[in-house]
């Protein structure tokens, strides 16, 4: 018996009989953060995504099935800046999982790693659905993705310090491929600079800022407020004499208002994927930006 214990002890010290460490269970609030976690974590992460590209992330039901995933998660990757304020806090509280509570080691908010646009100087309910910490829709500027990737690599390494070299190597590889892609995207997108566009919602603000698109109007009169017939009529009056180059909407948007306006001001309505999975071409983060630029450039001809 003593020999058996001694042999097992020696093997344990050598690491020879250690069981394979289970992958980290990651709950991502959007397909974009799920794709990024997969890029950085590879086989070390088991990612579940709470929403699809066809959903408005502002409005998600904290279903029991989501609570079940939160209950066993090691890490929650969210946008933050109150984008998911209507459902994620309830989900986390209902999970009873101490690892993912706000401020805990298993909590990660992507928006905290970037400079946010449209931080309000004051808050007033009459201004619509304004986010106090600034516009949270940060994923459509690839420079933001790069900054968030650095933060998420550090988070994964902190959760599994024995795998830090693994995560560092994957983070470095992603950073190199992403940097090259940004150079290519920005060269390809040069003709878009200054193009006048109508947007649907403020979730396209970072894309416009990155590409230098000029917003001339918004289909929503205020963030989160659907347009009335009278307001759309005002837009027609405003835009008829100087039509925009295109009208932007996202895959998850109801296309009726954009289509109606498109017919009257003779500007194409361009449906962008907005998120990974929002189009056939947006299969991952690289495809998201490839497909977004392809659609914009095609409409800009």
- Inter-CA distances, 258 with 121, 208, 248, Å: 30, 17, 8
Q: Alpha-carbon distance 5 to 18, whole Å?
A: 15
Least confident of 52-66, 110-124, 171-185: 110-124
pLDDT of residue 130: 74
Coil, strand or helix at 77: strand
Residue appearing with tokens 């296309």:
255
Q: Alpha-carbon distance 163 to 157, whole Å?
A: 6
Q: What is the pTM of this model?
A: 0.90
pLDDT tens per residue across span 123-167: 776 777 778 889 999 999 999 999 999 999 999 999 999 999 999
* Chain center to CA of 17: 40
* Chain center to CA of 62: 19
Q: Alpha-carbon distance 293 to 273, whole Å?
A: 10
| CB neighbourhood size of 40 (10 A) | 25
pLDDT of residue 19: 43
Residue-level length of the chain? 301
Q: Is pLDDT above 60 for 3? A: no
Exposed / middle / buried, residue 216 (Cβ in 10 Å: 0-12, 13-18, 19+) = middle
């Amino acid at each position: 018996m003593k020999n058996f214990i001694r042999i097992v002890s020696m093997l344990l010290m050598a690491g020879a009989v250690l069981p394979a460490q289970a992958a980290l269970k990651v709950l991502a609030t959007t397909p974009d953060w799920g794709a990024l976690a997969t890029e950085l974590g590879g086989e070390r992460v088991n990612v579940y995504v709470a929403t699809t590209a066809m959903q408005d992330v502002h409005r998600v039901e904290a279903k029991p099935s989501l609570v079940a995933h939160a209950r066993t998660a090691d890490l929650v990757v969210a946008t933050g800046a109150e984008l998911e304020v209507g459902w994620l806090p309830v989900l986390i509280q209902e999970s009873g999982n101490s690892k993912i509570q706000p401020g805990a080691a298993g909590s990660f908010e992507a928006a905290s790693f970037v400079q946010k646009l449209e931080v309000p100087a004051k808050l007033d309910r009459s201004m619509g659905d304004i986010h106090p910490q600034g516009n949270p829709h940060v994923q459509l500027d690839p420079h933001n993705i790069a900054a968030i990737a650095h933060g998420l690599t550090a988070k994964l390494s902190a959760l599994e310090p024995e795998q830090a070299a693994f995560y560092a190597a994957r983070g470095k590889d992603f950073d190199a491929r992403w940097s090259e892609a940004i150079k290519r995207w920005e060269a390809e997108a040069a003709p878009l600079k200054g193009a006048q566009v109508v947007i649907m919602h403020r979730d396209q603000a970072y894309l416009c800022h990155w590409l230098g698109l000029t917003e001339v109007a918004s289909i929503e009169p205020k963030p989160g407020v659907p347009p009335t017939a009278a307001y759309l009529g005002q837009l027609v009056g405003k835009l008829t004499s100087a039509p925009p180059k295109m009208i932007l909407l996202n895959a998850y948007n109801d296309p009726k208002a954009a289509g109606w306006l498109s017919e009257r001001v003779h500007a194409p309505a361009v449906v962008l994927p907005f998120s990974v999975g929002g189009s056939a071409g947006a299969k991952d983060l690289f495809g998201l930006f490839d497909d977004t630029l392809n659609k914009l450039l095609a409409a800009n001809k």
